[in-house]
Chain A
């Protein structure tokens, strides 16, 4: 009894702190969700629209990567490969078959199918060995895919990528609602045209995928995955086929990433190595997952938003700092706006050392071991 009495006040302090932290995290994520839901009306300018759609797509991509790295403890560098497969499948179909929903469906399905088959192959081939081995194999596979995309320029457009039309329904000329005069209806000063429909297409698909992933991590499958992450041997000893589960989640994540790729292709009307396949995107995903918090689905939302805002505003700050220090040697070069990744890399290292649970994980008190 005395032990319990002595323990209670000690434990309740962090527990209540964690509860407050959790409330803060949920509040932030709720605000982000609302902002994204009403983005076409809150931020009507073109640039903000781009950022909002990019955030939606990347939340799906980063959350699906978190299924691997955070929940299962698999480090894969092939995630942009699957993303790119979805994007290129859609892009090639739209280019070849002309703008139409049938092209999106067919090309997207082909991209997803290829991503799935590759994921099964890579998974069965190398998930039975150590995490590190798997990381190397996926890195090699991803770079081969990048080289293929730039060399098979007849199909993929090489370094230049592919430009194509998307269905007319999504073009700004389409009127979703017309009033008595036949003019497009305006809501809060924003014309309800095809561009808004396109944004909500991206938003709704992203939200559905995110809900699906929340469901996956709450399901028995999610629990098994966490067990594998914590202690592979014990999970195997209880009777779970570790290789089968790892391959399964790798395939699920690959398919979700491919769907995110389809969204990206439809939104941008352009697909090329820079926006869909490059290693820079992989690094973005890694940074977002770690900054937001590995092993928390909603952490990926925070990570994506923080990184996206940093990408847009850190550059301005650094531009200012570089001009202020222009008299010194080397310092302006280090503060050059193009070097923002340098500082983000340093921040990343410090985060991994001191806050391995990321923003969401630290606030919610998951970081303590």
Chain B
């Protein structure tokens, strides 16, 4: 038994879980459907990862759980939709280059807004209530209510259609399996963001300081570093990522409502809990597992889709109360 667990650890330990889920379901689902579902799950997982990683990192470094995080997701989605609608000529045009430029502009606008809103949020909303969890939760919930109402008053309550760039419409054929190109794009963007975050956290001086801050905030302060600047930077980056995830999700869904953020935040919380607070590796692992399970179960037992993720979370909490890869011990 010990040798078995040692071998498993060498092969990747908990990182094998998504692979195991994939292989197990391969038995019950026909191969070509399985392939489509897996790609969909990976793409969905990557978009959730964008939203979850910021939340997790903010919590790890600042010990702040931002319930208003879903507001950034919603705002990101709506701003991306507005930009895409404004650039409708480029989005629907024949030139693939202009298609992509329009999409990138939408994502960039959402991300920039997320960063700016994150700055405002950290400065005005969260700053006065550091180290007081109860009031943090209350204040960020209040901010979430206000933000949702603002979205309602700006864009109204009716669902808004999001145009998808022409070049990313349709699918690419791999043998007899069709894969939507938007999913490939979402997956690629997620991987790029993960690699960038991994490199920043592990190869740069700022990343070193952030990791040190997660480990022991007081010591970093005592060594003379301005930790509040790090706080702002991480908060802005986390919020920007949430808005980017929201923008991607808007394009993926094609139809968005103001409730989008609060629907996603449940999945995001489940991901962060499964992955363990404060680590981006954990968020990635949790996001991919949630994405895969959601898609497989939606195919096998459609009514159980969200409940399945809840059960997954319960099972993992029973096994590891702090999540799979926590950076901070709660």
Q: Which of B137, B149, B153 contacts A345 (CB 8 A)?
A: B149
**Contact digits for A126-158, partner B, Cβ 8 Å, 1 yes 0 no:** 101111110111011101100110011000000
Check A352 against B317 for contact (C-beta < 8 Å).
Answer: no
Taking CB atoms, residues of chain A closer than 8 Å to B310 are 140-141, 144
- Check B145–A126 contact: CB distance below 8 A: no
Q: Which chain B positions have C-beta within 8 A of A330?
A: 153-154
CB of A196 closer than 8 Å to a CB of B: no
- The answer to whether the Cβ of B138 comes within 8 Å of any Cβ in the partner chain is yes
Q: Are B142 and A345 in contact, with the CB atoms below 8 A?
A: yes
Q: Mark B46-74, 1 if CB is under 8 A from A, else 0.
A: 00000000000001000001010000000
Interface flag for A197 (CB, 8 Å): no
Known A137-B273, A345-B146: A129·B322 in contact at CB below 8 Å: yes
Q: Give the contacts of A314-335 with B (CB-CB under 8 A).
A: 330, 333-334
Within 8 A of A (CB), among B139-183: 139, 141-143, 145-146, 149-150, 152-154
The stretch of A18-26, A45-53, A206-214, A336-344 that contacts the partner chain: A336-344
Q: Taking chain B's interface residues, is the majority helix, strand, or loop, or is none over half, making it mixed?
A: helix
Interface size counted on chain B using CB atoms at 8 A? 41
Identify which of B186-194, B210-218, B245-253, B264-272 touches chain A.
B264-272
Are the C-beta atoms of A132 and B65 separated by less than 8 Å?
yes
Q: How far is the CB of A321 from chain B (nearest CB, A)?
A: 14
Instruction: Indicate if B112 sits at the interface (CB-CB under 8 A).
Output: no
CB under 8 Å from chain A, chain B span 231-275: 262, 265-266, 269-270, 272-273
The yes or no answer to B134 lying at the interface (CB within 8 A) is: yes
A126 x B317 contact (CB < 8 A): yes
What distance in Å separates the Cβ of A45 from its nearest Cβ neighbour in chain B? Answer: 31
- With A140-B273, A349-B125 known as contacts, the answer to whether A129 contacts B266 (CB < 8 A) is no
Decide yes or no whether A73 CB sits under 8 A from chain B.
yes
Asked if B293 CB lies within 8 Å of chain A CBs, one says: no
The smallest beta-carbon distance between A236 and chain B, in angstroms, is 16
Q: Given the interface contacts A283-B141, A349-B142, does A139 sit within 8 Å of B135 by beta carbon?
A: no
Across the interface, do B306 and A128 meet the contact criterion of CB distance under 8 Å? Answer: no
* Residue pair B135, A128 in contact (C-beta under 8 Å): no
Residue of A nearest to B144 (CB): A345
**A286, B141: Cβ atoms closer than 8 Å:** yes
B89 lies within 8 A of chain A by Cβ? no
The reply on A190 being an interface residue by CB < 8 A is no
A147 and B307 within 8 A (CB): yes
Structural contact, A75 and B134, CB atoms closer than 8 A: yes
Q: What's the Cα separation between A131 and B138 when bound, in Å?
A: 13
Question: A131-B134, A349-B139, A349-B142 are known contacts. Are A139 and B149 too (CB-CB below 8 A)?
Answer: no
Name which of A286, A341, A345 has the most chain B CB atoms within 10 A of its CB. A345
**For A135, what are the chain B residues with a Cβ–Cβ distance below 8 Å?**
65, 67, 137
In the assembled complex, B227 has its CB within 8 A of some CB on chain A: no
* Chain B min CB distance to A350 (Å): 9
B272-305 with Cβ < 8 A to chain A: 272-273, 277, 303
Q: A85 contacts the other chain (Cβ, under 8 Å)? A: no
Decide if A133 touches B273 in the complex (CB within 8 Å): yes
Contacts of B135 in A (CB 8 A): 352, 356
A132 x B133 contact (CB < 8 A)? yes
Tell whether A143 pairs with B145 under 8 Å between CB atoms, given A130-B330, A336-B153, A342-B153: no
Interchain CB contact (< 8 A) of A73 among B65, B134, B269, B317: B134
Contact of A349 with B146 in the complex, beta carbons under 8 Å: yes
Partner of A144, one of B125, B149, B152, B306: B306
A130 surroundings in chain B (CB, below 8 A): 133, 330
Q: Known contacts being A135-B137, A151-B303, A345-B142, is A333 close to B153, with CB within 8 Å?
A: yes
Q: Does A163 contact B (CB under 8 A)?
A: no
Provide the residues of chain B in CB contact with A126, threshold 8 Å: 317, 321
Q: Report if B324 contacts A (CB, 8 A).
A: no
Interface residue? B313 (CB, 8 A): yes
**Pair B153/A334 contact, Cβ less than 8 Å:** yes
Instruction: Give the complex CA separation of A53 and B330 in angstroms.
Output: 42
Contacts of A279 in B (CB 8 A): 262
Q: Would you mind naming 29 contact pairs between A and B with Cβ atoms under 8 Å apart? A: A69-B134, A73-B134, A125-B317, A130-B133, A132-B59, A132-B330, A133-B277, A133-B330, A135-B137, A139-B265, A139-B266, A143-B266, A144-B306, A279-B262, A283-B141, A283-B145, A286-B141, A290-B138, A330-B153, A336-B153, A339-B152, A341-B149, A342-B145, A345-B143, A346-B142, A346-B146, A348-B142, A349-B125, A353-B139
Residues of A within 8 A of B (CB): 69, 73, 75, 125-126, 128-133, 135-137, 139-141, 143-144, 147-148, 151-152, 279, 283, 286, 290, 330, 333-334, 336, 338-339, 341-342, 344-346, 348-349, 352-353, 356
Query: Which residue numbers of B lie inside 8 Å of A, CB to CB?
Result: 59, 65, 67, 125, 128-129, 133-135, 137-139, 141-143, 145-146, 149-150, 152-154, 262, 265-266, 269-270, 272-273, 277, 303, 306-307, 310, 313-314, 317-318, 321-322, 330
